[in-house]
Amino acid sequence: MTDALAFPRQSARTQRFTLGTPRTFTISPDGRRIVFLRSRSGTDTVNLMWVRDTDTGVDTILVDPAQLLRDRVESESVQERALRERAREGATGIVRYTTDSAVTVAAFVLSGRLFVADLISGAIEEQQPPGPVMDPRLSPDGRLLAYVSGREMRVRAVDGTSDRAVIDPEDEHLQYGLAEFIAAEEMGRDRGFWWAPDGSRLLVARVDDRPVDRWWIADPRNPEREPAAVAYPAAGTANAEVTLVLVDTDGRRTPVEWDRLAFPYLARVQWAEGNPPLLLVQARDQKTQRHLTVDVATGATTVVGEDTDQVWVELFSGVPAFTPDGRLVRVVDSDDARVLMVGTEQVTGSELQVRGVLAVDDDSVLLTAMATGPGEIGEVHVYRVSGDEVVRLSDAPGVHSAVRGGEIVILLSSSLASHATTVRVLRGGTMIGEIESLAATPALTARPELRSIGARRIPAAVLLPATYSGGELLPVLLDPYGGPHGQRVVHDQRAYLEAQWLADNGFAVVIADGRGTAGQDPRGQKAVSGDLAGTLDDQVDVLNELAAQFPLDLTRVAIRGWSFGGYLAALAVLRRPDVFHAAVAGAPVTDWRLYDTHYTERYLGHPDQHPDVYDANSLVTAAGLSKAALPARPLLLIHGLVDDNVVVAHTLRLSAELLAAGRPHEVLPLSGVTHRPVEEQVAENLLLHQVDFLRRALTEPVSSS
């Protein structure tokens, strides 16, 4: 690929310039080996397994999937496809792997086939389990391998001497060892089983989906195929029943008991050396959560902590956890900040908004956080907290994360100054090497101007055409996500490439993170409670304030978005046609009763208890449509027909209501596409189609009357 290729094609072919970037790092305890995944180039989707020798700085390909598959086309099971969809995984080859605690052995799956690699000698062995393999995980000592096969939980000796089902489901509605839809989609828990530190037993999730309503996802392009049955827990309906069981490697089981009636959500599980299993369970209304330890002899649980909030309690990555000496590590909301707690001590203050915990060891906690200073818009940094000392490890402006193992820290950094993610290897704070990114270089460079808008300091970015020399006002395109957690204004060049291309097509592009988005203080994030539609007000406020600073033509304003952003875009032209003159709404949530329990009820409550709230935030109910204002504005609705997250019924119901109301609009169905289009031709042409629609819609200034 060359820089001369059109940007939409390049972006599609490189999966938005993510291919070729090193990822999924594991560091050996002695710090001598780093295992990671990376494809050969920025246009190659196939991840290989690499091993870096930290003494020499040499990276060696350990596993090349092409050699193992021998030209066979890679395939995936329905379960694997669902797992990748929840993770928004677009790569192929090795996308996950497992190692022993010494990082001497790795295991992974290709097309349902199980492979074990010796990380020291480089030898690779294909194993022959009796059935397909999902999510294999090595025991800490490397002797055993637990995996899911169909609905079974199985344990296999790595030397091949045994392979047995330790749990065989009693009926077809039970699944062992995999995360249920809600956990994987909304809670950030993608696992369903955990090894004991000594490898003697497993803690396994048992999922009973009988209470969950069945929805049917059809592929109209292939009418001869049966629709797929999906257990979808829509707001106000029953969730899957999730329990835990301790399973010895000989199959002996011990149920884990807690008050599941009061705390039905299993959000986090951790089992670390020297401490009992640690669970985080939530109430359905998400206003209370408990930290529980498990007695591995009896399965009984003990409450070791509880968090409550009048609005909701937040989930964070990496916590809860125990320090080696048994203190509970968690992140909680104080009045004006998200802070780190170690035991009963608050160890960070209002100067940071903690995002998540990366590692916990004997004397420190590694975490990511956003500083609250006015000059650090969109920056995320890595901090080490030791006692009452907080030290920032990432030096330059940007978005940073890290992986730690022993004395080694891998620091991953992106910034506005570089197209590529920088991966630095540090030992004891001193850089000893850098792992190269093979990602493609974009055919353009984004030039966002970052601003903090108004009294609430709403983060915003403005992008003008690269050739703009001043003078004329530009048609405006708002390009937000705009909803809970979906931060778009970040100090990262790649985050704005598509926006810059849109700007170069003649628009002033505005991206704003209003109430509810990540990085704000807890009050700002929880301001969406009961009023998701209110996020539109922030977009309008930002637009009006920026018009005094940039050449924005407020008679030609469009908005586009996907998922929550699609909801926001449709909402904009329906309720504020005085401000917005056209919209592109991709995979929009149009009726919150059709979206899932954990996400929707967190913000809007239970629909049986708050029906008026659901009606007011909907685009298709009588109450929601009654707020639609004249005149009608051009609206393009886009939706994947096999989307199992925001199902196509959202767009179809809105289209039907608009047609009944005599409001013209366009619908673009995407055959065979799920929630996020990743197919190269679809992604490329979809971007071109949107620009064509927006140009047609904003050809002339539009009256606000």
Task: Supply the pTM of this predicted model.
Answer: 0.94
Rounded CA separation 108/117 (Å): 8
In a domain, 428, yes or no: no
What pLDDT does 703 receive? 56
What pLDDT does 388 receive? 84
Task: Provide the CATH number for the domain around residue 458.
Answer: 3.40.50.1820
Largest CA distance in the chain: 78
Please count the structural domains in the chain: 1
State how far Cα 701 lies from the chain centre.
38
First to last CA, the chain: 48
In a domain, 592, yes or no: yes
Rounded CA separation 536/522 (Å): 19
| Torsions phi, psi for 634 (to 5 deg) | -55, 130
For Cα atoms 299, 300, 304, give the angle at the middle one, nearest 5 degrees.
125
| Torsions phi, psi for 169 (to 5 deg) | -55, 145
What pLDDT does 170 receive? 78
Q: Minimal CA–CA distance to 563: which of 542, 584, 543?
A: 584
Rounded CA separation 503/449 (Å): 13
Per residue in 58-115, pLDDT tens? 999 999 998 988 766 666 677 777 777 766 667 788 999 999 999 999 999 998 899 9
Strand bridging mode 345-346 / 352-360? unpaired
Beta bridge partners of 201: 248
506's CB contacts (< 8 A; 6+ apart) are 465, 474, 475, 695
Q: At residue 120, what is the residue type?
A: I
Rounded CA separation 372/379 (Å): 10
In a domain, 433, yes or no: no
In a domain, 61, yes or no: no
What pLDDT does 92 receive? 85
Which residue ranges of the chain lie beneath pLDDT 70?
1-5, 71-76, 86-89, 374, 700-705
What pLDDT does 2 receive? 41
What pLDDT does 680 receive? 86
CB 10 within 8 A of CB 442: yes
Rounded CA separation 321/327 (Å): 8
Residue 185's CB: how many other CB atoms inside 10 A?
21
668's CB contacts (< 8 A; 6+ apart) are 636, 637, 638, 639, 689
In a domain, 658, yes or no: yes
In a domain, 220, yes or no: no
Q: How many CA atoms lie within 13 A of 571 on its CB side?
A: 30
Rounded CA separation 598/234 (Å): 9
Rounded CA separation 406/543 (Å): 48
State how far Cα 486 lies from the chain centre.
9
User: Which pair of structure tokens corresponds to residue 341?
Assistant: 């707690």
Residue 42's CB: how many other CB atoms inside 10 A?
22
Task: Look at residue 687 and give its three-state secondary structure.
Answer: helix
Q: Minimal CA–CA distance to 124: which of 53, 212, 185, 48?
A: 48
Residue 626's CB: how many other CB atoms inside 10 A?
10
Three-state SS sequence of 103-156 = CCEEEEEECCEEEEEECCCCCEEECCCCCCCEEEEECCCCCEEEEEECCEEEEE
**Which residues constitute the domain of residue 555?**
449-697
In a domain, 456, yes or no: yes
Peptide bond into 129 cis (omega under 30): no
In a domain, 545, yes or no: yes
Rounded CA separation 484/564 (Å): 9
What pLDDT does 85 receive? 72
